[in-house]
Structure 1
């Protein structure tokens, strides 16, 4: 299995920081926990390398959260017992000197990897990722991007794994304060604090787990947000609070429970085949399994998993697991960007190589600062070191943005114009001709044949990702909700209505449709939802039935047959698997019959349907390819025969064939006119990623779309 598949399908599986004790309580070191940390990080690394039969390697994220909650809570309780109070300054100073210098080192090194190995189209996003990671906000950035149309099918961030470290630090902004308050209450009441601490953890864990159960099945951002993850850290904290009681468990009972916990973690990594729904109903398996190992491992002794986990090789990996976690992902992404898709063996080699910088970081950055006597005796100095690392890294990230600014090329406009606004659209003056150069016979036009160099490219490949349909207000529904959002374009008071409905592949046509509506006195009603075609039935998203899509479709269909009944329904979509007999269909052939039933049903209700055949898919990001090959553009020109039927186009043809009242509009010849698909036509970049057209090129297709739509639209007088 290629590393690209592993990276993309596990785009949310980066292991969280394996936090180790900032100081060792005499006699408290447990080799089994060090080994458990090694097992968790190895699961994630092997999963990222695409090792077969380990689809759920990402469960290491749950294991690490439990271990972190146990260790940090235990240290705080020990300090309270020893000193009668908890010093927040000392606590955050320990974390600052332990975590921040190593993290800053990797963040700065990642900028160098980005500069030398990643396409310039990714530089700007990486710079902002550095800033977010330095400020412990990467999880919220990832959550926002998981719902953003513009990031569909994009390569994973080289720093996405920092989301988990952000979750932990956000949790530890809350938990020490709550622990201090509960300890103070226990002291005032002169009663034991164990019950109060468990109550405090329950107040965190139960709402968090409940929220995870509710939102995780439908909201992809739930994987990253702190509110759905706190319960896992709280479980580890609860084990620490009850550690003294658990240590008295009879060995005959503790050993089987601890071994069962380790087996549960391993089985979860093998049987859980998708990160969809995490950290919801499937997450308790690895979470409680890890908790069982930690909770009963001490009482089990050598009869428990310590027999395996306490072995020197595993403990050695556990010792460097934080640095190994930091380094492996940037190196994998850089290697994949430089060499292309890696085999499993190649990916494993990269992961193994990451142990070299990880070991160096551990011995020459982590340990010296963690063991520094001056920083231990002066917590304020440790905080200053941490703040300096954070601020310096963020500033370097912002400076790196300057290198990502699009470079002006001769004849290339530096600003993207012609974006759609509610109520009208305007095209920039003197835009390149784009599809207009193809004339009336695109397939025989020399203007559509790929060449190595062109006089200008518009928009600049470095900013092409933002050249999509721009709408005033929020006009699209995200993946997590079924709320129908409706926007009106063209002539709002016109008597002729066209409804544009579907996913982002329908939405991409809005610049041309809106322009035609203004010129022909049409009213356009837009209904779109992320990754959701207009279809009666259930499609698959991330291996699960896409329930919010089905609900959205029912509501939109009711609107189209009610108050928003159009004179013509214009639809388009990407390709989708369908949910059949309780599981995803084995291929995409079931989509065409489902689309046919949907469109036929609308026609039967008196609504004619026009279908815009989906544009060809490419197997790589076209702006990235063009940015890397400005003088060898033919390297970015795939065979038409290879890309033509990728995407939803073939299903559209099959569904529309011979169906009365349904009209197929195929503009493929004006998108890929030659035997190889030119990346730039008439000075315009055709694609903004690997499957969405740039808004600029769509605008130049407006005359061809008009020729297809005008015969289908009723001729009525203007607004009355």
Structure 2
């Protein structure tokens, strides 16, 4: 078994190190799942056959002494790395990740983040690899309960325990595999992490364990074919698959069945000799510690060096052998031996729970070590757009400061500085295809407006809502993540057709035509879509916008376009996140400014302005004079302008309210009068 673990950890390490010849090294985790399912199921079934029952207390005590000491050490060290080496803006998120990892629910936290459009700027977590350990721990909760049910049924009907076990496993494996295929297509980012799409892999290992009495009867020649064929399947998966694979769908059968075949071959003593080599056995024995240590060290190295490349990645992975070996010798093995020889199961669990509590505390301390939000005076002093001089209603220029005494929000609070419309569910996510409008403004207003598009439209709600209330306008909001309002065919960010966006916009267009508001306000983040030949062009988006807006105008519904703001680009730090750059260069904020022209090219503005010229009755509001001159500074009037990605901060948007009012109100009055 250690030889199989060596192959699994080797593929994972090479993949994480960025070695390009192993683009599918992530399959090593699938190999680990099958091994875990086999070992745990075999252990439980043997106990059931020997004692006629399964001791939950002894089972969880074995898990605690095997897993928790080393995991607690790594999580504590990782908390220190985040505090001393990482960016201050990441402490809150990573502290929460450490808490989730300690509680073995990190996979669900990452799944939620993976489908959260607003989490796109979050850095890679140094404990992200705990997602697979979380899946296994959740499996360990379900499996003993299944065995208790198996014991009851076997005694009640006097059936062989292993036959009942196999039947029970199939009840889990089959629907989990089917769900894996469905989810991997519908929501691949979510499907990768969640437990329900992975249970079948552990269950396959359990089925192999349930049939362990049968496998020695397999002819040696067939066993050799299974052994070498299984290794070939695993290696082929690591070399030929890549991140474009729909995973973990049906393709995951390759490493899963390959691993099962190797285990079956081993039951006949016909496993390939390669797996018994001293180096393979040593590496397999070290695999758990090595898995724990390599990832936080890789992430910490990127904080120091930036993009690592293959050589540095391989160097860091090799150096991870040192703490892995030390913790294996000084922590993992001694703790396991002491617990087994001297402690009762209850004592072992108590120690394990205390270690978990300590790592939870480390995560919470890291979260609380994030500097508090800006002082109360900062929000009063921060005038934002209202600090700018206007001439004929247009800003004449924006200073590009190097240092400011105070500003709000602080970088670590920027991501949270978003409209409360998200908490109200006013923007649906990428899986939802049905509009769910929210009401703002004056509920009984005579003038009816609608705000449509993606998050770049929704970012203006904190200025539009008070304006609507002041003028007694009814304002309905219907937005969808990364889905501008048009008939355009776009991708979902993963290169796949964004089908739910197309369905959503068709339903939304009909809703708007039925509602017949006085005007709709639209904005979006992209200028490109697919044409009839499948090519992604700006012309296709322009045609789609022109068609949609013409339909609305012909129906007597005025269209008001809010130009998209420039997208931050070419920043010296922070992956083009303004708030991260500001955190890195607090004494040289001008370094975090970017060229307006480059930012506009990456925005939805070029397509929207061109389409507006083709539909003369469409009105355009361009607020970008309040965001940029030739360059777009990070802080304007003591307010951080951007919160995440290309989104303006809620605080800054609020400061634009009187200026937006002046520009918007004449258009609405004209629309309501016509």
**TM-score normalised by length of structure 2:** 0.91
- CA separation in 2, counterparts of 1:173 and 1:234? 14
Residues 258-313 of structure 1: CA deviation (Å, up to 9, x unaligned): 433333333334444436753334333332232223233444725xxx24333333
Question: Which of the residues 571, 577, 599 maps onto 2:549?
Answer: 599
Which moved further from structure 2: 444-453 or 70-79? 444-453
Question: Which of the residues 605, 614, 622 maps onto 1:666?
Answer: 622
Q: Which residue of 1 aligns with 2:572?
A: none
Counterpart secondary structure, 2:8: helix
Counterpart secondary structure, 2:502: helix
Q: Which residue of 2 aligns with 1:546?
A: 498
Residues 620-666 of structure 1: CA deviation (Å, up to 9, x unaligned): 22222223332221232233344332233333344444333334433
Pairing of 1:76-475 with structure 2 (within 5 A): 76-219=44-187, 220-274=189-243, 277-299=246-268, 301=270, 306-372=272-338, 375=341, 378-406=344-372, 408=374, 411-413=377-379, 430=380, 432-440=382-390, 448-471=398-421, 473-475=424-426
Counterpart secondary structure, 1:713: helix
Which moved further from structure 2: 461-470 or 271-280? 271-280
- CA separation in 1, counterparts of 2:391 and 2:86? 39
Structure 1: runs of 5 or more not aligned: 1-32, 414-429
Q: Which residue of 1 aligns with 2:510?
A: 558
Shift of 1:72: 1.0
Residues 24-49 of structure 1: CA deviation (Å, up to 9, x unaligned): xxxxxxxxx32222222233333333
Q: 1:609 to 1:129 in 2, by over 3 A?
A: same
Counterpart secondary structure, 2:82: helix
Residues 103-137 of structure 1: CA deviation (Å, up to 9, x unaligned): 11111111111111211111112222222211122
The answer to whether the Cα contact below 8 Å between 2:530 and 2:537 also exists between their aligned partners in 1 is: no
The answer to whether the Cα contact below 8 Å between 1:461 and 1:627 also exists between their aligned partners in 2 is: yes
Q: Which residue of 2 aligns with 1:690?
A: 645
Shift of 1:511: 0.9
Q: Which residue of 2 aligns with 1:64?
A: 32
The answer to whether the Cα contact below 8 Å between 2:389 and 2:396 also exists between their aligned partners in 1 is: no
Counterpart secondary structure, 1:532: coil
Shift of 1:393: 1.4
Counterpart secondary structure, 1:501: strand
Counterpart secondary structure, 2:449: strand
Q: Which residue of 2 aligns with 1:700?
A: 655
The answer to whether the Cα contact below 8 Å between 2:447 and 2:472 also exists between their aligned partners in 1 is: yes
Residue 582 of structure 2 corresponds to residue 626 of structure 1: yes
- CA separation in 1, counterparts of 2:72 and 2:447? 59
Counterpart secondary structure, 1:482: coil
Shift of 1:354: 2.0
Q: Which residue of 2 aligns with 1:424?
A: none
Shift of 1:506: 1.6
Supply the RMSD in Å over aligned alpha carbons. 2.9
Counterpart secondary structure, 1:160: coil
Q: Which residue of 2 aligns with 1:609?
A: 559
Counterpart secondary structure, 2:644: coil
Counterpart secondary structure, 1:615: coil
Shift of 1:255: 2.8
Q: Which residue of 2 aligns with 1:500?
A: 451
Which moved further from structure 2: 262-271 or 117-126? 262-271
The answer to whether the Cα contact below 8 Å between 2:394 and 2:625 also exists between their aligned partners in 1 is: no
Q: 1:262 to 1:223 in 2, by over 3 A?
A: same
Structure 2: runs of 5 or more not aligned: 569-574
Q: 1:445 to 1:348 in 2, by over 3 A?
A: farther
- CA separation in 2, counterparts of 1:321 and 1:434? 53
Shift of 1:410: 8.7
Residues 662-695 of structure 1: CA deviation (Å, up to 9, x unaligned): 344332232122x432110001100112321101
Question: Which of the residues 581, 585, 601 maps onto 1:645?
Answer: 601
Shift of 1:577: 6.5
- CA separation in 2, counterparts of 1:311 and 1:598? 66
Q: 1:484 to 1:373 in 2, by over 3 A?
A: closer
Shift of 1:241: 0.6
Counterpart secondary structure, 2:475: strand
Q: 1:649 to 1:253 in 2, by over 3 A?
A: farther
Q: 1:576 to 1:226 in 2, by over 3 A?
A: farther
The answer to whether the Cα contact below 8 Å between 1:92 and 1:383 also exists between their aligned partners in 2 is: yes
Q: 1:580 to 1:79 in 2, by over 3 A?
A: farther
Matched residue count: 664
The answer to whether the Cα contact below 8 Å between 2:440 and 2:476 also exists between their aligned partners in 1 is: yes
Residues 411-433 of structure 1: CA deviation (Å, up to 9, x unaligned): 424xxxxxxxxxxxxxxxx4622
The answer to whether the Cα contact below 8 Å between 1:375 and 1:381 also exists between their aligned partners in 2 is: no
Question: Which of the residues 662, 671, 680 maps onto 2:635?
Answer: 680
The answer to whether the Cα contact below 8 Å between 2:594 and 2:631 also exists between their aligned partners in 1 is: yes
Residues 317-375 of structure 1: CA deviation (Å, up to 9, x unaligned): 32222122212222222222333333233333222222221221112111112233654
Q: 1:135 to 1:442 in 2, by over 3 A?
A: farther
Residue 531 of structure 2 corresponds to residue 575 of structure 1: no
Q: 1:120 to 1:195 in 2, by over 3 A?
A: same
Shift of 1:716: 7.8
Q: 1:451 to 1:544 in 2, by over 3 A?
A: same
